[in-house]
């Protein structure tokens, strides 16, 4: 049975309105920004914003200070945002979704900056910038304990943060060690402090920062894993990745990187010493 002309007109208007709404929504969530460097057009999730996915807290790379999110990674991405003439906006999201590329693929953010080690597995899920930080794994214990190796922890509980390189190192090398997983580093560090676990393995930068504020804990050893952090972008987003790389190179050459490093770690990076 044919629809009444008025009904057809109403349906047409509704269809047009729906199409317009879809276009408006698409325009609202994606804008094109010309880079400050070579004029390349870069697509961003939000107009006027460089949106960063991270997982809080991860001091001194990114953490809350009052109402602000601050840290080493924050300052680094701010430099990229400045070059693009936009502001950084930070989204706190689970680390699993960051390192798997899901957050980027869902257009939750433009870049992922979460103290994230470049690994072959992660490179299957997202594209990394050039390395911007040297890291390795370290062991955190209570002040009165002297566990300094995986052998020392046989029959003991070792805390790890899930989906991290520390978790993989513990699982691969912890023969006879009970691995206890935690969703984030805050829970992991508290577990050491309260005795839920005998030790924790995680990136050295974060653990040394924690020890400074928690003198009842200490780092007993570092494992030479030769890790490097990178900023992640969606697979194939070569324009944005190039912009990030250009900024990393620029701030390393003009001394800005060393200033940011000293601000958060209290010393210049080893390459500058």
Q: How many helical (H) and strand (E) elements, i.e. helices and strands, does the chain have? A: 10, 14
Per-residue pLDDT at 271: 65
CB-CB contact of 220 with 139 (8 Å): yes
Per-residue pLDDT at 37: 65
Per-residue pLDDT at 145: 97
Give bridge partners of residue 31 from the DSSP assignment.
44
User: Rounded distance, CA 126 to CA 101, Å?
Assistant: 5
User: Rounded distance, CA 268 to CA 273, Å?
Assistant: 6
Per-residue pLDDT at 36: 53
Per-residue pLDDT at 11: 38
Secondary structure (3-state) at 82? helix
CB-CB contact of 72 with 58 (8 Å): no
Per-residue pLDDT at 238: 97
Per-residue pLDDT at 51: 98
pLDDT tens across the length of the chain (273 residues): 444 443 333 434 344 444 444 434 443 444 555 555 677 899 999 999 999 999 999 999 999 999 999 999 999 999 999 999 999 999 999 999 999 999 999 999 999 999 999 999 999 999 999 999 999 999 999 999 999 999 999 999 999 999 999 999 999 999 999 999 999 999 999 999 999 999 999 999 999 999 999 999 999 999 999 999 999 999 999 999 999 999 999 999 999 999 999 999 999 887 654
Q: Closest Cα to residue 99, out of 158, 157, 138, 55?
A: 55
Per-residue pLDDT at 273: 47
Which residues have C-beta within 8 Å of that of residue 163, sequence separation ≥ 6? 95, 96, 99, 100
Per-residue pLDDT at 110: 98
Q: What are phi and psi of 237, to 5 degrees?
A: -85, 70
Give bridge partners of residue 159 from the DSSP assignment.
180, 200
Per-residue pLDDT at 159: 98
Per-residue pLDDT at 38: 73
CA distances from 91 to 49, 68, 217 (A): 12, 12, 30
User: Rounded distance, CA 183 to CA 178, Å?
Assistant: 17
Per-residue pLDDT at 121: 96
Taking the model in full, what pTM does it have? 0.83
């Amino acid at each position: 049975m044919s629809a009444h002309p008025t009904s057809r007109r109403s349906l047409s208007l509704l269809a047009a309105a729906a199409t317009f709404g879809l276009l408006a929504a698409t325009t609202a969530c994606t804008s094109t920004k010309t880079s400050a460097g070579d004029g390349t057009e870069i697509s961003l999730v939000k107009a006027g914003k460089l949106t960063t996915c991270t997982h809080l807290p991860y001091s001194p790379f990114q953490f809350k200070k009052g109402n602000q999110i601050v840290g080493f990674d924050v300052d680094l991405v701010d430099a990229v945002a400045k070059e693009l003439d936009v502001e950084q906006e930070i989204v706190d999201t689970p680390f699993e979704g960051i390192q798997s590329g899901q957050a980027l693929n869902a257009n939750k953010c433009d870049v992922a900056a979460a103290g994230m080690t470049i690994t072959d597995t992660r490179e299957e899920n997202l594209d990394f910038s050039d390395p911007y930080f040297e890291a390795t794994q370290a062991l955190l214990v209570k002040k009165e304990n002297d566990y300094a190796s995986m052998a020392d922890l046989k029959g003991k509980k070792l805390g790890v943060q899930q989906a991290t390189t520390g978790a993989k190192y513990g699982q691969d090398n912890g023969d006879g060690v009970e691995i206890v997983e935690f969703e984030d580093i805050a829970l992991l560090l508290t577990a050491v402090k309260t005795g839920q676990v005998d030790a924790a393995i995680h990136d050295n930068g974060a653990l040394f920062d924690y020890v400074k504020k928690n003198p009842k804990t200490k780092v007993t050893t570092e494992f030479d894993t030769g890790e490097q952090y990178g900023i992640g972008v969606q697979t194939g987003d070569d324009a944005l990745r190039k912009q990030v790389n250009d900024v990393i190179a620029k701030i390393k050459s003009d001394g800005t990187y060393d200033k940011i490093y000293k601000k958060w770690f209290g010393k210049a990076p080893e390459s500058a010493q």
